[in-house]
Amino acid sequence: MPAETHVEGSPIGRPEILTLVKERLADILEIDVTEVGEGDSFADDLDADSLALIELVEAIEEELSERTVGFRFEDEDLEDLRTVRDAVDYVVSRLG
């Protein structure tokens, strides 16, 4: 019997992941969620430093660990996450 990879719950869609990323990022940066756009660059548009990105990754991992067993960002992939869209696309691809 294969190992269990999913926890009970409905599948997470891209819109829900986008909302999750925007809300967590807004909390970390102490800005209104409406100021976070999908195409925004973490560094250039949102002034997010590397610590803020680490906090974002940890928050997403924590949130998704309740829904998907063992969800993690791979360390070597973090440097490729430059925009909100990159982070959303990464999570979608890892969950898919």
Catalytic residue, from 27, 47, 49, 80: name it.
49
- Is-catalytic flag, 49? yes
* Closest-CA residue to 95 (of 2, 22, 9, 33): 9
- Quote the DSSP letter at residue 68: B
* Cβ pair 36, 88 in contact under 8 A: no
List the catalytic residues: 49
